[in-house]
Structure 1
Amino acid sequence: MTATTPEGAPAWFTEALAASVEVGIVNVGGADIHYRAWGKPGDESGIVLVHGGAAHSRWWDHIAPFLAGDRRVVALDLSGHGDSGRRPEYRMELWADEVLATAEAGRAGPHPLVIGHSMGGMVSLTTARLRGSELAGAVAIDTPFWDNLPEDAAANAQQAFGPLRTYPTKDDALRRFKLIPTQDGNVPAVLAHIAETSLHERASGWSWKFDPNVFRGRTTLRTLTLPQCRVAVFRAERGLVPPDMGDLIAERLGRVVPVVEIPFSAHHVMIDQPLSLITGLRTLLADWTHSEPHKPTPEV
């Protein structure tokens, strides 16, 4: 589906959506995984962007072009999300396979940096735990480790993400779009773009793209072990990762993990503070390009 640029969108957003983008498909374990790619493959490690639960690759449309200066940037739809195929069950380990297969198919390898938001942060660190030697690094953005993800909590409470409804018109569906958790201060053009690209048209009407079964029986990341690659954590000042959780994550990962706070942001950082997120990620990339990784101090 081709989305239109919302009226009154800021110039930087319009520029991002006008950037050249390639689309592709790679089959992973019997499911077709759709992805979008920006920039030319080069000498620098590419980037794979991983969305959160019930989201999709187009949450990154306004972020990816600003990370693709001299890097290849790929954003995928995890299975059960967006335009990708569905599975009988969903596991972090299989999503990690999808990340690496997409990196290869989208030419973001051979040692990509994986950046994930919320549930996507769990996918990123699972990839780092299982295949860290194949990565340049992993970044988790406002991922509440050891707590339930907001989408899981809403699904378990039957407040959202139940059986998919079909709406007679796109406008009817868009009026029902909401963020989980809700938040104020969103950039209207970003929110409108994400809402519109979350829908697809069927013969009977319009419905959301995600598979509700994603939230049933899914395993989450409950333990953190030091992976064989660099790791960074971004937390939203008003999000789901309080300062003490950020400190605990850094401690569990050997005290060599930067914890970066995005000020004035809620959980969905790319919707209410996108430029701050871009700046933070660019700064991290610049540092990791020109510095040596710190090694954890062995316990005596």
Structure 2
Amino acid sequence: MDQMKPAGVLAPYAGAPPPAPAWYRWAIDQLPERSIFECDGVPVELLTWGEVGKPGLLFLHGDSAHADWWSYTAPFFADEWRCAAISWSGMGSSGRRPGYTFDAWAREAIAAIDAAALDNGTGTMVVAHSLGGYPALIASAREPRIRGIVSLDSAIIPQDLMAEVPRPKPRPHKVYVSEQEALGRFRFMPPTIGDQHYAVDHIARRGLHEAEGGWTWRFDPEIWRDLESRSGENLADLPRRAQCPLALIVGERSELIRDEIATYMRGIYPEGTPFIGIPDAGHHIMADQPLALIAALRSCFAYWPERTP
């Protein structure tokens, strides 16, 4: 979840984009095709890269985020894959629902396979960050076209530790006088690691929109109201219900997947599931160590089991 606090890392830039390396500028220049599809009558934002007919690769973001979290990652795969990213309902430029469930988001992920033309007959790979890992796993239990899931720092926490997990409280967004002020207040939760401020700026800037009186955040502040009780899912059951191979990439400095939680998760994931650590990365791996994440994903895909009939 992303929240705004004083003295964010973008404040010193006074609204200007931070300096960025050449690889990042190249990736951002690979503009996606932007479109909307409907799921349950709700408009869902869709970004696509790469040619139709190539194997499908679907990127799913986490809590209170948006599809453009993947804008500097997906282009590195578009030569070999038909890539897509969606914004969950209630986030990004997607529509809102009266209430949110992991099941509804799973339906959106499945619908994206057709909307983005990801199915070339070989199955669709899914990369899912944080909260996005739960609907991805639910979708894989229902949709045989999902060939595999790589979850990124998607924690499943044992019940005896759940009381320690902070839950966002629904509250109206603050409206900022200017985009510059809003950017200056942006902070990741948990905090990001490192100085890739260009990535933070991109994520924050694409998460804003103009509203009456100024600028505010796109995501619905009501997302977490009764989400867990509405969903009714036992998250610990999800990995074994998946009907495809799984892998988990974690930040080795993640605030969410601590040692005891990692040990627990190894016990609930199918035997032999790869657990890959990204050094010097926290929860937001794509912001902390973006190139290391790209390399890890490439390695996963290169050795992924072939789909059997």
Matched residues in 2 for 1:93 and 1:137: separation? 18
Matched residues in 1 for 2:292 and 2:156: separation? 23
Native 8 Å contact 1:53 1:119 kept in 2 = yes
Matched residues in 2 for 1:142 and 1:16: separation? 23
Change (3 A) 1:171 1:261: same
AA at the equivalent of 1:229:
C
Instruction: Please tell me whether residue 54 in structure 1 is matched to residue 68 in structure 2.
Output: no
Q: Equivalent residues in 2 for 1:39-50 (5 A)?
A: 39-44=50-55, 46-50=56-60
Query: Among the aligned pairs, what percent are the same residue?
Result: 33
1:25 to 36, 39, 54: 36
SS at match of 1:32: strand
1:223 is aligned to: 237
Q: Equivalent residues in 2 for 1:1-300 (5 A)?
A: 6-44=17-55, 46-109=56-119, 111-131=123-143, 133-146=144-157, 153-156=166-169, 162-219=171-228, 221-224=235-238, 225-239=240-254, 240-288=256-304, 291-292=305-306
- Residues 102-145 of structure 1: CA distance to partner in whole angstroms, max 9, x if unpaired? 121111125211111110112211212333x2211112110110
SS at match of 2:171: coil
Matched residues in 1 for 2:268 and 2:194: separation? 33
RMSD: 2.2
> Where does structure 2 lack aligned partners over 5 or more consecutive residues?
1-14
Larger relative contact order (CA 8 Å, sep ≥ 6):
2
How big is the shift at 1:99? 0.8
SS at match of 1:261: strand
- Residues 210-250 of structure 1: CA distance to partner in whole angstroms, max 9, x if unpaired? 00111111126342324211111111100121344334334
Matched residues in 1 for 2:39 and 2:242: separation? 24
> Where does structure 1 lack aligned partners over 5 or more consecutive residues?
295-300
Native 8 Å contact 1:26 1:34 kept in 2 = yes
Native 8 Å contact 1:226 1:253 kept in 2 = no
How big is the shift at 1:179? 0.4
AA at the equivalent of 1:230:
P
2:3 is aligned to: none
Count of aligned pairs between the two proteins: 281
Give the structure-2-normalised TM-score.
0.85
How big is the shift at 1:6? 2.9
How big is the shift at 1:83? 0.2
Matched residues in 1 for 2:293 and 2:24: separation? 14
Change (3 A) 1:226 1:60: same
Native 8 Å contact 1:250 1:256 kept in 2 = no
Matched residues in 1 for 2:301 and 2:61: separation? 19
Matched residues in 2 for 1:7 and 1:252: separation? 41
